């Protein structure tokens, strides 16, 4: 149901202070619909509201899933200070949060608070200096037969793992990324999406067949509304497809993809996520170069 002008005026006047949940309650709407509408209106929570909302949410999680009795560390005592992700103010933290959304593994059970990212070695070699700007992450490598050498970046961090899980990170996550994006300032969203695309995105160019394409892939049930909202905001035409591929004597494979098929709109997306790449060089150079090939083709 469309928002009335009265509801829109209410959001413009109150969203920055009340936040998504309280506005949704007052308007008798779902938090998802309010979040999407606020995003399209360009509304943003003020820093104090963001902090209060997260602290309340985090406190609730600790009550529902208390940690085992052990003396807790203060944030600054961890090798990776979680506060720089909870109160995200630097591009590297926003980029890492996007990358972890795409390819991260977060597991929290008893004393285990594991956060890790595994990829081919040449990409891990690019990611690791970015991670080091936020703390002392460990790095490991392994070589398996008939496979490219793999790299692994990881840390054990109770507060950071709790923060990520509270904001819908974790194994087999199919939810929208609205919660984490609400905690990141709008001027850093480009870095979050750059990390996401470095993990799950693909820039494709085939001059011979006049094919220029961008795609972002995920699980069959993935809620793509957060990415679709960005594309709508940038006035980009796209399609969202869900596919079940049958395989003989095997379980069918399921996937979903958001796809952009025209050069003009691909350039719009690339210009958004790479707007500061010339200065900061944060992310995979090979994907940036492929975008430039499409742009200049």
Statement to judge: residues 107 and 15 lie in one domain: no
Same domain for 178 and 88, yes or no, is: yes
Q: Which string of DSSP letters, residue by residue, matches the chain? A: -PPPHHHHHHHHHHHHHHHHHHHHHHHT--HHHHHHHHHHHT----HHHHHHHHHHHHHHHHHHSPPPSSPPPPGGGSSB-THHHHTT-SHHHHHHHHHHHHHEEEEEETTEEEEEEEEEHHHHHHHHHHHHTTB--EEEEE--TTS--EEEEEEE-HHHHHHHHHTT-STT--S-SHHHHHTS-GGGHHHHHHHHHHHHEEEEEETTTTEEEEEEEE-TT---HHHHHHHHHTT---EEEEEEEEETTEEEEEEEEEEE-SHHHHHHHHHHHTTTHHHH--S-HHHHHHHHHHHH-
What domain count does the chain have? 3
Q: Is 191 within the bounds of a domain?
A: no
Q: Are residues 147 and 157 in the same domain?
A: yes
User: Domain check: are 161 and 247 in the same one?
Assistant: no
Q: What are the tens digits of pLDDT across the range 77-108?
A: 789 999 999 999 999 999 999 999 999 999 98
Is pLDDT of 69 > 80? no
- Both 35 and 49 in one domain: the answer is no
Note the pLDDT tens digit of each residue in 160-202: 999 999 899 987 789 999 999 999 999 999 999 999 999 999 9
Give the per-residue pLDDT at 263: 95
- Distance CA(38)–CA(183), nearest Å, equals 14
Q: Flag whether 104 is in a domain.
A: yes
For residue 91, give the CATH number of its domain.
3.10.28.10
Which pTM was predicted?
A: 0.78
Residues 86 and 205 in one domain: no
The per-residue pLDDT for range 230-255, each reduced to its tens digit, is 999 999 999 999 999 888 778 888 99
- pLDDT for res 193: 98
Same domain, 160 and 53: yes
Position 67 scores a pLDDT of 44
Could you give the CA distance from residue 246 to residue 78 in angstroms, rounded to a whole number?
47
Q: What is the pLDDT of residue 16?
A: 85
Query: Domain range spanning residue 32?
Result: 1-43
- Among 33-47, 161-175, 277-291, name the most confident range: 277-291
């Amino acid at each position: 149901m469309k928002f009335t002008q009265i509801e829109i005026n209410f959001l413009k006047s109150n969203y920055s202070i009340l936040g998504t949940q309280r506005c949704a309650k007052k308007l008798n709407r779902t938090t998802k619909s309010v979040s999407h509408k606020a995003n399209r209106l360009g509304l943003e929570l003020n820093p104090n509201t963001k902090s209060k909302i997260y602290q309340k949410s985090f406190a609730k999680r600790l009550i529902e899933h208390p940690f085992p009795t052990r003396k807790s560390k203060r944030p600054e005592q961890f090798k990776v200070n979680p506060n720089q992700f909870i109160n995200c103010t630097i591009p590297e933290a926003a980029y890492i949060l996007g990358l972890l959304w795409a390819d991260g593994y977060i597991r929290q059970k008893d004393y285990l608070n594991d956060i890790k990212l595994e990829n081919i070695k040449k990409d891990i070699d690019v990611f690791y200096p970015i991670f080091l700007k936020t703390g002392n992450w460990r790095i490991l490598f392994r070589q398996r037969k008939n496979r490219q050498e793999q790299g692994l970046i990881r840390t054990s961090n109770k507060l950071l793992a709790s923060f990520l899980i509270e904001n819908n990170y974790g194994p087999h996550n199919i939810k929208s990324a609205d919660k984490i994006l609400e905690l990141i300032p709008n001027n850093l969203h480009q870095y979050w999406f750059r990390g996401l695309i470095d993990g799950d995105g693909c820039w494709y160019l085939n001059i011979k067949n006049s094919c220029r394409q961008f795609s972002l892939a995920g699980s069959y049930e993935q809620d793509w509304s957060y990415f679709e909202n960005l594309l709508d905001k940038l006035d980009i035409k796209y399609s969202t497809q869900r596919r079940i591929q049958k395989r003989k004597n095997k379980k069918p494979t399921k996937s979903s993809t958001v796809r952009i098929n025209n050069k003009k709109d691909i350039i719009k997306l690339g210009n958004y996520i790479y707007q500061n790449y010339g200065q900061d060089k944060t992310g995979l150079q090979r994907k940036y170069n492929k975008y430039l090939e499409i742009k200049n083709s």
